[in-house]
Chain A
C-alpha cells in the first residue's frame, strides 16, 4: 500500500474581496508534497502563505484550482471538506486550551474522534510527550509552562491524531532565537519518529533549510512560485548541520531570492502606508 500523506496542489488561486477591491493573494500555485516529506514555504509577510495553508486545512475556500489529499479532493471552488484531523493545523499564535492540562490537551483529539481507548491514548500521549521533553509537565495547565513548551505540546497534540499532513503555520514565530533552536531539535526528533508529511510555513530561511527536504520560496503578493530549493542534507540532522558546507551552499543559493521578495514586500508596504 502506498504511504499516506500525498498532497497535490493544482493551480490554486485565491482572490480576496473585502471592500470591493480584488486582492489577488495566491496565483497559480501548483506543486505536490510526497508522502513523508517535510516541505517548507518561505516568503515575506503577507504573501499568501497562511492563505494557502488555510485552504488546505479547510478554513478558507480557493477561488480557483483544487487540492487533493491521497486521491480525495479536499478543496475546490465549489466545495471543501470541513477541517478535520487528517489535515491538522498548528496555529501561529497557539490554540492550546488553557482550561485543559497538557495531557488533557494532547488526548483531546483522539478521545473526541473515538479512535483510541482512554488507556491507549494516554500511553501514546506520554510517549510523545517524553520525546518532546515534557513528561514532567503533563498535569500542568498551559499558562504555567513556558511558551516554548506550549508550542511543543501543540505539535504533540497534532501528531497524536496521526494526520495525513501536518500543517505548521509559523509555529516558532514568537520564540527567541535560542528557544527556537531547541524547538527545532524536538521537531526533528518528532519528525524522525513519526515521518508524517509536513508543510511548514515560515519567513525564516535558515529554519526552512535546516528542517525541510524541500523549500518553496514564494514571491510577495500575489504569492506564486519563485524558486525551489532541494535540501539533500541527510537525516538525522542536528545543530552541527548548520555549519556544514552543503548548508551554506543552499543558503547562498536562496538568500538572494528571498531577500529580493522581502524588499519588494517592504517597498509595497511603504507605498501603501504613504497613500
Chain B
C-alpha cells in the first residue's frame, strides 16, 4: 500500500535552533562557534567551582589557593628571571631528551620492524627493560652519570625512547607485504625499499609515538627535577612547596600544561605536514 504524505510535510522543513545555538551561530566560522562556546562555558564553570570551594574552605580544596590568587601570583612571577630560566631549563632538557630519543629510537625501531634477526636480538632486552618504571631509574641514573644534568637528560631520553621504538616497530610491521614485494618488483635495492617504502609507510605511526612521548617527557621531567633538579619548572614547584608559596605551585602546573600542549602541537603539526597523503578530500 502506498502511503501519501500530507502536503505540508513535503515542504522544506527548517531546522529549529535553540536559544544557545542562535547566539553561537552568528559567528559560526569564527572562534566562538558552537563547539568552542561549549568548551569556554565548561572552563568557566570549572573555574567558578574552584573559586567557591577554595574560598569557603570546602575540604579537598580547603588549603588550595583560589584562582584569583593564582592569577595574582602569575602576574608577579611571569616577569621574573627565575620563571623564564625554569622554562628554558625544562624545555631544553626535554628537547635534548626527546631529540636523542628520536635519534636512537626511530632507526632502532625501523630495523627491528624490518629485519627479523635485528628484532630477535634487540627485542627481548628492550621488552624486559621497558616495564621498569621511569622513576626507579632515578637513583641509578644519578650513579651512572657524574653530572646531574646528564642524569636528568638520560631519564628524559628513556621517556621518549620507549614509546617511539614500540610505535616505530608497529608502524613497519603493519605495512602490507605487497608494498615491499611491489617495490622489489619495480627493481628496488634494499636502500630504496627503506627510503621509498619503509620510512614513509611507518611515518604516521612514528609520529604517534613521538606525540605520546611528549606526554611522558613532562612527567619524567618534573619528577627528575624534583628529585635531582636545581632549575626547571618541576624544581620550582618543589621549591614553592618548601617555601609555602602555594599559588606559585598551581601557576607552574598551568605553565607545564601549556608547554606540554605547545610541544605536542608542534609535533602534531610537523607530523601532519609530513604525512599529507593521509588527508582525504
- Shortest beta-carbon distance from A210 to chain B in Å: 26
Residues in B170-198 with C-beta less than 8 Å from chain A: 176, 178-179, 181-189, 192, 196-197
Contact assessment for B186 and A157 in the assembled complex, using a CB-CB cutoff below 8 Å: yes
- Shortest beta-carbon distance from B116 to chain A in Å: 17
Does residue B201 face the partner (Cβ distance < 8 Å to A)?
yes
CA distance A158 to B185 in the complex (A): 9
The residue that A85 contacts in the complex, of B186, B203, B280, with Cβ under 8 A, is B186
Q: How large is the interface on A (under 10, 10 to 19, 20 to 34, 35 or more residues)?
A: 20 to 34
Does residue A83 face the partner (Cβ distance < 8 Å to B)?
yes
Interface centre among B186, B203, B280 (most CB of A within 10 A): B186
CA distance A143 to B276 in the complex (A): 11
Q: Chain A residues near B280 (CB, 8 Å)?
A: 143-144
The residue that B277 contacts in the complex, of A99, A112, A113, with Cβ under 8 A, is A99
Indicate whether A91 sits within 8 Å of B178 (C-beta atoms), given known contacts A98-B277, A108-B196, A143-B278: yes
Contact assessment for B186 and A99 in the assembled complex, using a CB-CB cutoff below 8 Å: no
- Interface residues of chain B: helix, strand, loop or mixed (majority): helix
CA distance A59 to B178 in the complex (A): 11
Contact assessment for B185 and A87 in the assembled complex, using a CB-CB cutoff below 8 Å: yes
Does residue B281 face the partner (Cβ distance < 8 Å to A)?
yes
Q: Chain B residues near A91 (CB, 8 Å)?
A: 178, 181-182
Residues in A252-273 with C-beta less than 8 Å from chain B: none
- Shortest beta-carbon distance from A122 to chain B in Å: 16
Does residue B275 face the partner (Cβ distance < 8 Å to A)?
yes
Q: Chain A residues near B281 (CB, 8 Å)?
A: 144
CA distance A89 to B281 in the complex (A): 29
The residue that B181 contacts in the complex, of A83, A98, A157, A158, with Cβ under 8 A, is A83
Q: Chain B residues near A157 (CB, 8 Å)?
A: 186
Residues in A64-111 with C-beta less than 8 Å from chain B: 82-85, 87-89, 91, 93-95, 97-100, 108-109
- Shortest beta-carbon distance from A55 to chain B in Å: 13
Residues in A33-85 with C-beta less than 8 Å from chain B: 57-59, 82-85
Contact with A along B148-190 (1 / 0, CB 8 A): 0000000000000000000000000000101101111111110
Does residue A141 face the partner (Cβ distance < 8 Å to B)?
yes
Contact assessment for A112 and B196 in the assembled complex, using a CB-CB cutoff below 8 Å: yes
Q: Chain A residues near B186 (CB, 8 Å)?
A: 85, 88, 108-109, 112-113, 157, 161
- Shortest beta-carbon distance from A254 to chain B in Å: 30
Contact assessment for B188 and A112 in the assembled complex, using a CB-CB cutoff below 8 Å: yes
CA distance A58 to B182 in the complex (A): 12
Contact assessment for A95 and B182 in the assembled complex, using a CB-CB cutoff below 8 Å: yes
Q: Chain B residues near A113 (CB, 8 Å)?
A: 186-187
CA distance A97 to B183 in the complex (A): 9
The residue that A95 contacts in the complex, of B176, B203, B275, with Cβ under 8 A, is B176
Contact assessment for B178 and A99 in the assembled complex, using a CB-CB cutoff below 8 Å: no
Indicate whether A83 sits within 8 Å of B277 (C-beta atoms), given known contacts A91-B178, A95-B179, A97-B197: no
A–B Cβ pairs within 8 angstroms, 14 of them: A82-B184, A85-B187, A89-B181, A89-B182, A91-B181, A95-B182, A97-B182, A97-B201, A100-B196, A100-B277, A109-B186, A143-B280, A144-B280, A144-B281
Residues on B close to A: CB < 8 A?
176, 178-179, 181-189, 192, 196-197, 200-201, 203, 275-278, 280-281
Pairs A-B, 6 closest by C-beta atoms:
A95-B182, A109-B186, A85-B187, A99-B200, A95-B178, A83-B184
